[in-house]
């Protein structure tokens, strides 16, 4: 059955959008709305800090490595701290996992929601003033409220997300998210300090002609069908576009039609991208926009994570492009 889409004018603020959604969907409780507001607030704070990068000493490496083996940047830590602070204060979130933390954080409150975060995506691009992002997923907790959280609360399939989205810090910054009823994009208006609706009901064309992959990895791609697919893109003179910030690459393909590929390689035999911090959220968004996301064999949203830092190949974007890979 065709889902009803929210019909609000361009320019409406995120706050009004959230309020109007509450009345349209009585099951959406105030706590969930507040959680979305907390995310928007953290996004504004991170946006402010990123705008100062280059002027103050927040670029460069910290000298530590995160659980996925990436060298942490100062801004990874800063974004992580800002988001965790905003989410902890609200009281709606009881547990957080982050790409930058080894294991889960139990906030020991009676909040109903679990959040998974990639606080700063594409962080290697920040030192050269190129777009970066934040990716988030929201789930309901599984264990009983007021008991200790367990891994079960976090290791949920992507199909159980109740909301997900990303913030793109670019020439203008955007918040794009879904609560399972289509995808809406909000652009940050710095003089108002507000996110305003700019891209209602985003739809991803079923066909596209952009392909996004790190072609430096061509010789180490394990799956032959991916190699063939890339050759096919070249035979058809598709356009290659790869920024190296997943959020930015994904956002462009969402709006213009295209496919993003991060296959299994000899260096990353299970793929590089993190299911719980990157792939699940974007898979929920793309499916709600009419696109598709797989690991080459099954839908991303059906994968059972075995660890918090589970990785998998990712093929995501226009439906027919992703289908022709399988």
What CA–CA distance (Å, rounded) separates 35 from 195? 15
Residue 38 near Mn ion by CB under 5 A: no
Residue 244 near ligand AHG by CB under 6 A: yes
In the complex, minimum distance from the CB of residue 117 to ligand AHG, in angstroms, rounded to a whole number: 10
Contact partner, 70, from Mn ion, ligand AHG, none, Cβ < 5-8 Å per class: ligand AHG
Q: Which of 41, 50, 92, 100 is catalytic?
A: 100
Among 38, 92, 118, 249, binds Mn ion (CB under 5 A): 118
Catalytic (active site) residue 278: yes
Dihedral over Cα of 57, 61, 62, 66: its sign: positive
Q: Report the C-alpha dihedral over residues 295, 259, 159, 95, rounded to 10 degrees.
A: 90
3-state secondary structure of 120: strand
Residue 122 near ligand AHG by CB under 6 A: yes
Give the x-and-dash track for 201-220 against ligand AHG (CB under 6 A): -------------x------
In the complex, minimum distance from the CB of residue 76 to ligand AHG, in angstroms, rounded to a whole number: 7
In the complex, minimum distance from the CB of residue 107 to ligand AHG, in angstroms, rounded to a whole number: 23
Residue 123 near ligand AHG by CB under 6 A: yes
Q: Provide the greatest CA pair distance for the chain.
A: 58
Question: 3-state DSSP: the chain helix, strand, coil percent, rounded to 5?
Answer: 35, 25, 40
* DSSP assignment letter at 217: G
Residue 246 near ligand AHG by CB under 6 A: yes
Catalytic (active site) residue 100: yes
Please measure the distance between the N-terminal and C-terminal CA atoms of the chain and give it in whole angstroms: 26
Give the x-and-dash track for 249-268 against ligand AHG (CB under 6 A): --------------------
Q: Are strands 259-262 and 183-189 parallel, antiparallel or unpaired?
A: unpaired
The contact set with Mn ion (CB under 5 A) reads 99, 118, 120-121
């Amino acid at each position: 059955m065709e889902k009803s889409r929210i019909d609000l004018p361009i320019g409406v603020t995120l706050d009004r959008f959230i309020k109007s959604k509450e009345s349209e969907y009585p099951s959406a409780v105030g706590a969930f709305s507040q959680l979305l507001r907390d995310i928007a607030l953290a996004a504004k704070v991170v946006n402010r800090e990123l705008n100062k990068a280059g002027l103050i000493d927040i670029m460069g490496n910290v000298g530590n490595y995160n659980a996925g083996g990436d060298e942490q940047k100062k801004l990874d830590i800063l974004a992580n701290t800002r988001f965790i602070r905003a989410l902890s204060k609200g009281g709606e979130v009881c547990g957080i996992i982050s790409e930058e933390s080894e294991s889960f954080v139990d906030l020991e409150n009676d909040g109903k929601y679990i959040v998974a975060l990639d606080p700063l995506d594409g962080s290697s691009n920040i030192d050269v003033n190129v777009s970066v992002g934040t990716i988030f997923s929201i789930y309901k907790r599984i264990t009983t409220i007021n008991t200790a959280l367990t891994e079960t609360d976090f290791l949920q399939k992507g199909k159980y997300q109740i909301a997900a989205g990303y913030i793109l810090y670019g020439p203008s910054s955007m918040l794009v998210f879904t609560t399972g009823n289509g995808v809406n994009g909000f652009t940050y208006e710095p003089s108002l300090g507000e996110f305003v609706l700019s891209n209602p009901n985003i739809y991803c064309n079923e066909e596209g002609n952009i392909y996004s992959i790190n072609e430096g990895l061509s010789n180490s791609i394990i799956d032959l069908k991916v190699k063939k697919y890339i050759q096919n893109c070249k035979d058809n003179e598709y356009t290659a576009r790869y920024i190296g910030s997943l959020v930015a690459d994904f956002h462009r393909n969402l709006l213009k039609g295209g496919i993003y590929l991060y296959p299994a390689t000899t260096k990353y035999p299970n793929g590089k991208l993190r299911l719980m911090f990157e792939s699940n959220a974007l898979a929920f968004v793309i499916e709600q926009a009419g696109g598709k996301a797989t690991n080459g064999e099954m839908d991303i949203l059906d994968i059972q994570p075995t660890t918090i830092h589970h990785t998998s190949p990712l093929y995501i974007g226009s439906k027919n492009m992703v289908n022709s890979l399988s």
